[in-house]
Amino acid sequence: MQQEVYKIGEVTLNFRHYAGMDLYSDGDVEDEILGIVRNHKPSEYPEIIEREKNWPIFYHLSRERANIIEWVPMNGTERVLEVGSGCGAITGTLSRKAGEVTCVDLSRKRSEINAVRNCDCGNVTIHVGNFRDIEPELPTNFDFIFLIGVFEYAQGYIGTEQPYENFLKMLLRHLSPGGRIVIAIENKLGLKYFAGCVEDHLGTYFSGIQGYRQDSVAQTFSRNGLIRILKSLGIRNYHFYYPYPDYKFMNLLYSDQYLPRASDLQDNVYNYDADRLILFNEKRAYEDMIRDGLYSTFANSFELVIGPGFPVIFSKYSGDRAEEFRIRTDIVMDQTGRRKIEKHPLTPEAREHVRGMRSAYTALSGRFRGSDLEINDCQLDSTGYVAKFSFVAGIPLSELLDYCLFKDDMKNFRRLFEEYLRRIRFGEEQEVADFDLIFSNILVNGPIWTVIDYEWTWGKRIPARDIAFRAIYCYRLEDKKRRILDPRPFYEELGLTKADVDRLISEEASFQKYVTGERQSLVEIWKGIGRRAAIPGELKVETETLQERDPLTVQVYSDIGQGFSEENSYFAEERYDRHHAITLEIDLLPGTKALRIDPAFDPCIVTLQGMCWNGVSIRECGRPVVTVHPSGRWIGSDSILFAAEDPGIEIGIAVPEREKRNHLTVTMITALLPEEVAGSVSEGLSEDEGLSRLEELPEERGGLLKRRRRHTT
């Protein structure tokens, strides 16, 4: 017979109210997770997540799960109650931040996983069983009560006519004066649900939007719906925060005191726990909603704080980095309304990185003293490991450039760029440089330009032209709408040769590997898990405006061993610019054997301008990398004629030993042709003429890009 109370490591488990059966489980994978936490250190979890490519393993073991509470200010003495602690994704962080942590969870298996992974946490007790049965025995002086992904299940926990109201009543009895209840929950009106994501708990489309059935296992709420519940209980002191993209894998946290700007929200397509549809462009929808003041209504998730608010009004996590660079950036507001910026290390290894920001400030201030470029001041707190900065008023230079670019005002775009170049060239000969002096890190307030982020400052000379190249390069990568900007005239103005550009792109790839420690990003993990994001066929044909579809829309297919299919395809967010040129950035799915790029949906001529493999031009890889097999006919050294309405370029992956992470960049120009013109040109090329032209083409330096002909049927 199992003991009612025992320990795993330093963690106490209490089974007095366990019913003897786990009614909530992910199945056999929980045994696998238990094996992982028994046999591996937490520092090994990221590598296991990348290798296994499994949603439950990713969900339960990802360190990003704790972001939702990591930002909450605590002094290390608080008494905390965590309801629905599950496999302990939150528990370990609470243990490090608080004085005492009491957990409640229905599942014995998950509670054992929690105890094993956090076995060194001697301030943690886990009660296993239904909260309603355990609640009468709980203390009444908790400083914090956390419900992370739990409040929506109140009907199962409480089982009364008003389960949500009664659940909160029960919790309030256990809160100390001045204490807080923190609830993280999906917004039933979250934009992602309108745009094609299934409801998280039911796995069906539009369930929350249309209204839940009475027998639903869970129920989420709109912002006003939560407020109605609070007001019915007489609760007037509450504060809404908005985790983005949602509370599960939050990397940005907004508040009513600091809402997103129109250009801020980039990560909208990814949905880790299920396949999804794409019914419209969420980023652009959010942009209009933000301009109209509607973000708080359609945010994907809420973090609701019942009780006093926090000085933190915004947080940004830079967590997809190597351990020594993982940090959190906060905007903090004091009681007078004055704002400050703080940067906190997320790991012990990152303390020196944050501490070094003070030295970077001192060095850069010396370099730019007497110039037209201000460096935002930096001080360290009493610990020496939290960097504090002034909150600077102004508009990001990137937004000013956007205004010019999208108004097709290239004269003023160039004027701003030349002014940027003039200012960063000051003191160029000195042995100190901010490598990350990109447009979004400069705030413009009239004649005052202030650098607000300089964590990548190095004690060496870096030519201003190299820094300016990176500013243009990153500007185009940050927002795919900016791909309409042709960077080549700016590179020419900087005096950069093609060899220079290739070198700088290679250096950028090396820098990113240095920063990330070659760990996969959340986007790469999403692709590895294999979730699909599909546009319904009806929308492809009938509703082109939903994705701004036009004949020059590009579709990319991946063959991971089962051939090409619609299921393993997506429509590229990259767009052709005004010259019909496009650069595709393609992250290869694990096991990819081939790609197919459909450059358009009408007859056309495509000119392939270049390809890069993992940031290096294929001409300089030193080994065969890819082979190209178009469905049309080669009509020049790099041009292909497609006479049919379904052009396609198949790219065979010819690397004998795959690297862990592979990325292909393809640059091409596409010109649409009337069907009769394309047909006439094709007919004018005899088989012998087409073959002789192909045979006369020299192979690209050692056969790195091999061309084969496949005739249109």
Contact 317, 250 (CB under 8 A): yes
User: Residue 226: which CATH number?
Assistant: 3.40.50.150
Q: What is the pLDDT at residue 541?
A: 40
pLDDT at residue 694 in the model: 32
pLDDT at 329 over 50: yes
> What pTM does this model have?
0.77
Q: Please report the pLDDT score of residue 131 as a whole number.
A: 92
Please tell me the predicted confidence (pLDDT) of residue 537.
60
Q: How far apart are CA 111 and CA 116, in angstroms?
A: 9
pLDDT digits (tens, 9 = 90+) for 379-413: 999 999 999 999 999 999 999 999 999 999 999 99
Helices and strands (DSSP H and E) totals, the chain: 24, 35
Residues 259-282 have pLDDT tens digits of 999 878 877 777 778 888 888 888
| 379, containing H or E segment | strand 378-380
- pLDDT score, position 616: 84
Q: Are residues 578 and 475 in the same domain?
A: no
Give yes or no for a contact between 211 and 179, defined as CB atoms under 8 angstroms apart: no
Kindly indicate the confidence band of residue 619, based on its pLDDT and cuts at 50, 70 and 90. confident
Residue 540 reports pLDDT greater than 60: no
Tokens read off for 467: 């820094």
**Which among 455, 485, 515 is the end of a domain?**
485
DSSP states of 412-430: HHHHHHHHHHHHHTTTTTS
Q: How far apart are CA 45 and CA 88, in angstroms?
A: 13
* d(C-alpha 593, C-alpha 441), whole Å: 39
The C-alpha angle 536, 539, 543, rounded to 5 degrees, equals 170
DSSP structural state of residue 573:
S
- Calpha distance 430→426 (Å, rounded): 9
Quickly count: other Cβ atoms within 10 Å of residue 563's Cβ: 11
Q: Do 457 and 492 form a contact (C-beta atoms < 8 A)?
A: no
Residues 414, 563 within the same domain: no
E strand segments, 457-508: 457-458
Query: In the structure, what pLDDT confidence band is assigned to residue 178 with cuts at 50, 70 and 90?
Result: very high
Q: pLDDT tens, 6-61?
A: 999 999 999 999 988 887 778 889 999 999 999 999 999 999 999 998 999 999 99
| H helix intervals, 292-373 | 295-298, 351-368
356 and 217 housed in the same domain? no
Are 443 and 353 found together in one domain? yes
Asked if residue 541 is part of any domain, the answer here is: no
Structure tokens at 57: 């393993």
> So what's the pLDDT on residue 56?
93
**Structure token pair of residue 296:** 């708080």
φ, ψ of residue 473 to 5 degrees: the values are: -60, -50
Has residue 156 been placed in a domain?
Answer: yes
178 and 38 share one domain = yes
Q: What's the confidence (pLDDT) of residue 161?
A: 83
The verdict on 36 and 139 lying in the same domain is: yes
Question: Is 712 within the bounds of a domain?
Answer: no
Give the Cα-Cα-Cα angle 274, 146, 328 (nearest 5 degrees): 75
Question: By three-state DSSP, how is residue 644 classified?
Answer: coil
* Residues 99 and 77 sit within 8 Å (Cβ to Cβ): yes
Q: Which of 405-409, 595-599, 650-654 has the lowest mean pLDDT?
A: 650-654
In this prediction, residue 710 carries a pLDDT of: 34
Q: In this structure, are residues 445 and 488 in contact, taking their beta carbons and an 8 Å threshold?
A: no
pLDDT of residue 231: 97
Residue 422 lies in a domain: yes
460 and 576: one domain? no
Sign, CA dihedral 79-83-86-90, equals: negative
Average pLDDT, the chain: 87
pLDDT in tens, 339-350: 999 999 999 999
Both tokens of residue 82? Answer: 């965590």
The pLDDT, as a whole number, for residue 572 is 85
- What pLDDT does residue 713 have? 29
Q: Which two tokens stand for residue 461?
A: 């000379």
Nearest to 131 by CA among 82, 60, 177: 82
* Backbone φ and ψ of 452, nearest 5°: -105, -15
Q: Which of 611, 624, 591, 614 is nearest to 663 (CA)?
A: 614
Q: Is residue 383 part of a domain?
A: yes
* pLDDT in the model for residue 680: 67
Structural domain includes residue 215: yes
Work out the angle at residue 116's Cα, subtended by the Cα atoms of residues 170 and 19, and round it to the nearest 5 degrees: 45
Taking a C-beta distance cutoff of 8 angstroms, is the pair 289, 298 a contact?
yes
Say if 283 falls within a structural domain: no
Residues 353, 427 within the same domain: yes
Q: What is the pLDDT of residue 567?
A: 65
How far apart, in Å, are the Cα atoms of 255 and each of 239, 267, 288, 330, 332?
8, 18, 18, 12, 11
Distance, CA of 91 to CA of 115 (rounded, Å): 9
215 and 69 inside one domain: yes
Residue 417 or 540, more confident: 417
Residue 159 has pLDDT above 90, yes or no: no
* Bridge pairing between strands 594-598 and 626-630: unpaired
Q: Same structural domain for residues 368 and 224?
A: no
| DSSP conformation class of 563 | -
Residue-wise pLDDT tens digits, 477-533: 888 788 889 898 999 999 999 899 989 988 988 898 899 887 887 777 877 787 777
**Per-residue pLDDT tens over the stretch 81-133:** 999 999 999 999 999 999 999 999 999 999 999 999 999 999 999 999 999 99
pLDDT band at 431 (very low <50, low <70, confident <90, very high): very high
Instruction: Show which of 283, 309, 335 is a domain's final residue.
Output: 309
Q: pLDDT value at position 548?
A: 40
State the total domains in the chain: 3
HEC sequence for 50-95: HHHCCHHHHHHHCHHHHHHHHCCCCCCCCEEEEECCCCCCCHHHHH
CA distance 167 to 229: 11
Residue 427: inside a domain, yes or no? yes
What are the CA-CA distances from residue 422 to residues 417, 419, 474 (Å)?
9, 5, 19
Residue 336 one-letter amino acid: T
Residue 47 CB contacts under 8 Å (≥ 6 apart), including other chains: none
593-614 mean pLDDT: 88
Q: What is the largest CA-CA distance in the chain?
A: 89
Does residue 579 contact residue 485 with C-beta atoms inside 8 Å? no
Same domain, 458 and 557: no
Containing structural domain, residue 56: 5-188+200-241+302-309
Q: What is the pLDDT of residue 590?
A: 74
Q: Do 580 and 474 share a domain, yes or no?
A: no
For 313, the token pair is 């009004």
Phi-psi region for residue 240, left (φ > 0), alpha (ψ -120 to 50) or beta?
A: beta
Domain's final residue, options 254, 284, 309? 309
Beta-carbon contacts of residue 290 (< 8 Å; ≥ 6 apart): 259, 260, 261, 262, 264, 265
